[in-house]
Structure 1
Amino acid sequence: MRSALVILSFLAMLASGFWAYRENYATKVALREAQRLGADIGRLQEAIAVQRAEWAYLNRPDRLAELASANFDRLGLLSMLPEQFAETRQLPEPAADPLANGLDGVAIVSAEDEDLLP
């Protein structure tokens, strides 16, 4: 009986050692993957910052005005002037929403009327 207990204890110790080794290895792999992903994220954030800087550089108003005037014959683009913008009070009122008061003014089509639809 005592030898069976010793053998079972030894097998349990071997199993727990094997499990601990496997978990340790899996943890190291996960840490390496997390570090790789962190480095990838850093590189991508830097690339996004460079793209934003390039976009801001290319969208300078003076540069766009030069391009618009240089390509006027082909594109017909004009420079925007402050007088071309309207104030909020000058905008027309929006049209009334037909669904604001429920289903009034909305046509309900039945299955029999489907052949009448375009």
Structure 2
Amino acid sequence: MMRPLMYVVAALTVMGLAFWAYQENYRTQQEIRGVRTLHAQIGDAHERLRMLRAEWAYLNRPDRLIDLAELNFDRLGLLPLAPEAFGDIATIIYPLPDILPISDPIDVRSVAPGGGEDPL
């Protein structure tokens, strides 16, 4: 009597595990497709970034910028960089540190130069 019951329980356990493995296989395949999609998107983003960097380098060519500055001089007033346009670091005026308020003043008139009290 106990043996057929064990066969049924074992068969149901095997079928349950097979169903679970089947579901996990499909979830894994779906995640693999998602990862492939992400890799494709990352590749596209890298390609766009390479294109934008190349375009930025093309637009920032020194000869092109010089021509644009000369063309728009009246409107922008841009001048070419020259060594005279830069200042010397010694001419920079740094702000002075804040002077803290005197919180506990000492009366120095009553102290003699030798360290003793003035007899006055």
Bigger helix fraction: 1
Cα separation, 2, equivalents of 1:60 and 1:73: 22
What number of residue pairs does the alignment pair up?
99
Q: Which runs of 5+ in 1 are unaligned?
A: 99-103, 106-118
Tell me what 2:8 maps to. 7
TM-score by length of 1: 0.72
Q: How does 1:1-118 map to 2 (within 5 A)?
A: 1-86=2-87, 89-90=89-90, 92=92, 94-95=94-95
Q: Which runs of 5+ in 2 are unaligned?
A: 102-120
Displacement after TM superposition at 1:52 (Å): 0.6
Give the 3-state SS of the residue equivalent to 1:22 in structure 2: helix
Tell me what 1:115 maps to. none
Cα separation, 1, equivalents of 2:37 and 2:91: 53
Runs of 4+ in structure 1 displaced over 3 angstroms?
93-98
TM-score by length of 2: 0.71
Moved more, 8-17 or 74-83: 74-83
Change (3 A) 1:26 1:92: same
Cα separation, 2, equivalents of 1:4 and 1:97: 91
Q: Which amino acid in the other structure matches residue 18 of structure 1?
A: F
Q: Percent identity?
A: 43
Displacement after TM superposition at 1:81 (Å): 2.4
Q: Which amino acid in the other structure matches residue 4 of structure 1?
A: L
